Amino acid sequence: MKTDDLVALLTNNAEPADQTMTARRYTWAIVISAVGAVALLLTGYGIRPDLSVMLGTPLFWTKLAFPALMAVGAFLVVARLARPGAQVGRRWTAMAIPVAAVVVAAMLTLGFAPASERLAMVLGVSWRSCPFNIAYLAVPGFIATFWAMKGMAPTRLRTAGAATGLLSGAVATLIYCLHCPEMEVAFWAVWYIAGMLIPTVIGALLAPRLLRW
């Protein structure tokens, strides 16, 4: 059979690619991530008792905005990595900007604070448990987002796994904010980022096995 005949045979019944598949799969994955994290939060930790008061505090909304923007940035990167050959391009900056912003804000608040208070601002009252709590809440999202990526065609497996893990970690951090009592930016800049990095690193390590196709 000639090459042209083979190509014609393979494309005879071809249909246009579904351009909405990635969005649909990850929409469901993010919904599962959020619902699963809420369920684990309610059964394991509970919601902070002063949440109704915090909802009227601009700083609390800033606290929510950090992981929310991280989740948006991770989604933009993951959506590109799910397609073979697609370039991520400047989408990396969508994740870098909120990290840079919170780190700069943390440095400023620490710089203006008395030296005797700086360590307490960084450690808060829950630094030992915070990253692991976030990683725990990320478990449903980790499974869901890897399922979504597995159904696509990633070629840069470790990078895709890391971005997928970060997405689950960012969603988990957003939900964890409903429980976490910490309101210092310096705390978020260290321990929230550490919590998001745990599923990110695990995702990069497991990706060659979980995303192989």
The pLDDT assigned to 155 comes to: 84
Contacts (Cβ under 8 Å, ≥6 apart) of 61: none
Question: How do residues 110-157 score in pLDDT, each as one tens digit?
Answer: 999 999 999 999 999 999 999 999 999 999 999 999 998 888 878 889
The pLDDT assigned to 22 comes to: 67
The pLDDT assigned to 14 comes to: 46
Residue 52 forms part of a structural domain: yes
The pLDDT assigned to 132 comes to: 97
Look at 2 and 59; give whichever has higher pLDDT: 59
Percent of the chain with pLDDT over 70: 88
Query: Quick one: CA torsion of 110, 111, 117, 120, rounded to 10 degrees?
Result: 20
Contacts (Cβ under 8 Å, ≥6 apart) of 115: none
Residue 11 forms part of a structural domain: no
Pick from 77-86, 155-164, 196-205: least confident: 77-86
Residue 164 forms part of a structural domain: yes
Q: In whole angstroms, what is the distance from residue 133 CA to residue 182 CA?
A: 14
Mean pLDDT value across residues 25-52 = 94
Q: Which domain holds residue 99?
A: 32-210
Number of domains into which the chain is organized: 1
Q: How far apart are the first and last CA of the chain?
A: 28
Residue 138 forms part of a structural domain: yes
Look at 27 and 185; give whichever has higher pLDDT: 185
Helix (H, G, I), strand (E, B) or coil at 105: helix
Residue 43 forms part of a structural domain: yes
Residue 5 forms part of a structural domain: no
Q: In whole angstroms, what is the distance from residue 187 CA to residue 124 CA?
A: 7
Residue 114 forms part of a structural domain: yes
Q: What are the two backbone dihedrals, phi and then psi, of residue 104, each rounded to the nearest 5 degrees? A: -65, -45
Residue 20 forms part of a structural domain: no
**With contact defined as beta carbons under 8 Å apart, do 53 and 192 qualify?**
no
Instruction: Map tokens 């684990």 to a residue.
Output: 40
Q: What are the two backbone dihedrals, phi and then psi, of residue 82, each rounded to the nearest 5 degrees? A: -70, -15
In this structure, the number of other CB atoms found within 10 A of the CB of residue 39 comes to 13
Q: In whole angstroms, what is the distance from residue 199 CA to residue 155 CA?
A: 20
The pLDDT assigned to 3 comes to: 58
Question: How do residues 45-95 score in pLDDT, each as one tens digit?
Answer: 999 999 999 999 999 999 999 999 999 999 999 988 887 767 777 888 889
The pLDDT assigned to 79 comes to: 86
The pLDDT assigned to 4 comes to: 55
Confidence of residue 20 (pLDDT cuts 50, 70, 90): low
The pLDDT assigned to 17 comes to: 46
